[in-house]
Amino acid sequence: MSPADTLRFASRAALGYPLRSALMVLAMSIGVAAVVMLTALGDGARRYVVEEFSALGANLLIVLPGRTETGGVNPGSFVSSTPRDLTNDDAAALLRLPLVRRVAPLTVGNSEISVGGRLREVLVVGTSADYLDIRGFKVASGQFLPREDFGRATAVAVIGETIRAELFGNQNAIGRMIRLGDRRLRVIGIMGPAGRGLGMNSDELVLVPVATAQAMFNTNALFRIMVETRGREALAPAQRQLEELLRARREGELDFTVITQDAVLGTFDRILGALTLGVAGIAAISLAVAGILVMNVMLVAVTQRTGEIGLLKALGASARAIRLAFLAEAGLLSLAGALAGFALGHAGAWLIRLLFPALPAWPPDWAVAAAVGTALTTGLLFGVMPARRAAALDPVQALMKR
């Protein structure tokens, strides 16, 4: 029997039992679609986080108070009980390092903002003029925070677009006074739209000079210091210089942590990559289930067509021809399922992107290839046993069954 005839015979057989075939295609397609969709979701999450961090701008070092290093005990952990705060003076000292281009100290807190009776809760970020460039934000109108000593508590604020729209509506906001917590501040600028990153939406922020925020929240401590180095190559030496300087400023104690954007990004990339793989693995279980269904359906097909198999043998079909015909049938049905699942999965990913535009939910190529490949392999693998059973049938017995 020629390969073309085998395929034609198998496809006729598959079409001859539409319900059974449809069921099998459905099971296979659900398995493939699950892999495609879930990996799209996982990879989308990974890309989202990566983009989020990339939005921070390159060549960035972030200094946090406290030692949060994993990986064994270091001498510092015996000495200090409570870490010293990071202060504005620390930030100012860092700015004097030769390899450092920009420094933005950060103090963050929640407060109430009110203008003429309109009131809402906002996230207040106390920082400095460099923050704009470090984060790659844009000012839509007016100006950003003034370049000045980190210790000066100037009574000005830059507000996000959403805040402006809610508080001022169509009126001009620049130059107007707002009440933020217990302070009266003058609005000097409006942030441009869609500046985003690290879970902070610049549309909903109020930015004030760092000393103003510290006075408001009654603290001297900084939440973070963001440091931009002069170029990518300067990242590692700058980190060393920075650590030396800060350590010197705190009597030799290393009670702070410096993280690089790359390290954070790498960690997230790894975690979410593993997550995607795990999700793909879970989805692949549904493919295995589909494979077992393929086997069952094909076994039923063999039982259903026992008479036909006996006849084919009587007409001179070799065992191989019968085995190939049934294997081809399982393969064709799996292929149809894989293609349907591929389409279904892409449709699902499209729906996710439609519902969550922020999430770049595109199935990775490897996942699609793996899903379709696994479906075909599963179908053929689980088709072998029924095909062998068909080929091994005793023709006389098979012909007697009707």
Q: Work out the end-to-end distance of the chain between its first and last CA atoms, rounded to an integer number of angstroms.
A: 25
Compute the least distance from the CB of residue 303 to another protein, in Å: 15
> According to the binding rule CB under 8 A, does residue 315 interact with another protein?
yes
Under the criterion CB under 8 A, does residue 198 sit at the interface with another protein? no
- Specify whether the CB–CB gap between 316 and 385 falls below 8 A: no
Judged by CB, which is closer to another protein: 13, or 293? 13
- Contact predicate 374/335, CB 8 Å: no
Residue 387 CB, nearest approach to another protein (Å): 16
Comparison of 9 and 217: residue with beta carbon closer to another protein: 9
Task: Give the integer Cα–Cα distance in Å for 210 and 103.
Answer: 12
Q: Of the two residues 16 and 98, which places its CB atom closer to another protein in the complex?
A: 16
Closest separation in Å from C-beta 317 to another protein: 5
- x/- mask, another protein, residues 318-337, rule CB under 8 A, reads xxxx----------------
Size of the site for another protein (CB under 8 A): 26
* DSSP labels, 235-289: HHHHHHHHHHHHHHHTTT---EEEEEHHHHHHHHHHHHHHHHHHHHHHHHHHHHH
DSSP state letter for 86: P
User: From the CB of 307, what's the least distance to another protein, in Å?
Assistant: 6
285, two tokens: 């279980």
The least CB distance from residue 46 to another protein, in Å, is 49
Rounded CA separation 99/102 (Å): 10
CA distance 68 to 89: 22
* Min CB(273)–another protein separation in Å: 48
Smallest Cα–Cα separation from 191: which of 253, 150, 136, 238? 136
Q: What is the distance between the alpha carbons of residues 36 and 304, in angstroms, rounded to a whole number?
A: 34
Binding mask 261-300 for another protein (x = CB under 8 A): ----------------------------------------
Nearer to another protein, 55 or 321 (CB): 321
Subset of residues 373 to 402 that bind another protein, contact rule: CB under 8 A:
395-396, 399, 402
Among 116, 151, 307, 373, binds another protein (CB under 8 A): 307
According to CB under 8 A, which residues from 11 to 30 bind another protein?
A: 12-13, 15-16
Which stretch, 107-115, 239-247, 252-260, 310-318, contacts another protein (CB under 8 A)?
A: 310-318
Interface segment toward another protein; rule CB under 8 A; list 7-15, 119-127, 161-169, 273-281: 7-15
Alpha carbons within 13 A on the beta-carbon side of 206: 28
**Least Cβ distance, residue 315 to another protein (angstroms):** 5
Alpha helices, DSSP H only, in 87-181? 88-95, 131-135, 161-168
Report the residue from 133, 166, 243, 308 that binds another protein according to the rule CB under 8 A.
308
What pairs with residue 257 in β-bridges? 64
Q: Which of 25, 37, 116, 30 is nearest to 279 (CA)?
A: 37
Give least dist CB 274 to another protein, A: 49
d(CA 386, CA 394): 15
Residue 7 in contact with another protein, rule: CB under 8 A:
no
Q: What residues make contact with another protein under the rule CB under 8 A?
A: 1-2, 5, 9, 12-13, 15-16, 307-308, 310-321, 395-396, 399, 402
